Amino acid sequence: MIFFLQMRWNIENRLSFEEVWDLEIEEGKAAQTGFKVVGMYKVAGQRRVIAIVDIPSADDLDQTIMGHLPLHEYLEFEAIWPVRAFENILDDCRTHFGTKELNS
């Protein structure tokens, strides 16, 4: 399954930026072992990170986030959405989501 994740660093009065940078290096390594990172981006000028990840299930995602990410206690997950590849949606559009047969 592919998920969109929007996270905010909740570090005020908890961690310095220097500590965040060091933990973020470890976070990147842990993330690569927990799921396939399709794309990851830092929002310019904000304490936010956006990620698109591929992982077998919501259960696996939850276990990875809560149990394996070094920054888990400092990350506020603002959004977690399951998403579909657009080419798969186009396939469904061709068949009107299964209500119409494809013409060869």
Instruction: List the CATH number of the domain containing 43.
Output: 3.30.70.1060
Show the domain range for 62.
Answer: 2-94
Hey, which residues does 37 pair with through a beta bridge?
53
* Span 18-47, pLDDT tens digits: 998 999 888 888 877 878 999 999 999 999
100 in a domain, yes or no? no
Task: Judge whether residue 69 has pLDDT over 90.
Answer: no
Task: Judge whether residue 104 has pLDDT over 80.
Answer: no
* Local confidence band at 15 (pLDDT 50, 70, 90 cut-offs): very high
102 in a domain, yes or no? no
101 in a domain, yes or no? no
54 in a domain, yes or no? yes
79 in a domain, yes or no? yes
pLDDT value for 76: 94
CA 99 vs CA 3, 19, 28: distances in Å: 27, 54, 43
Environment class of residue 39 by beta-carbon count within 10 Å: exposed (0-12), middle (13-18) or buried (19+)? exposed
Over residues 54-64, the mean pLDDT reads: 93
103 in a domain, yes or no? no
Mean pLDDT of the chain: 90
Number of structural domains in the chain: 1
**What single letter denotes the amino acid at residue 82?**
P
Q: How does DSSP assign 20-54, residue by residue?
A: HHHHHHHHHHHHHHHSEEEEEEEPTTSSEEEEEEE
Q: Which residues contact 34 (CB under 8 A, 6 or more apart)?
A: 55, 60, 64, 68, 69
Question: CA 81, 86, 89, 91 torsion: positive or negative?
Answer: negative
99 in a domain, yes or no? no
Read off the pTM: 0.81
87 in a domain, yes or no? yes
Task: Judge whether residue 61 has pLDDT over 90.
Answer: yes
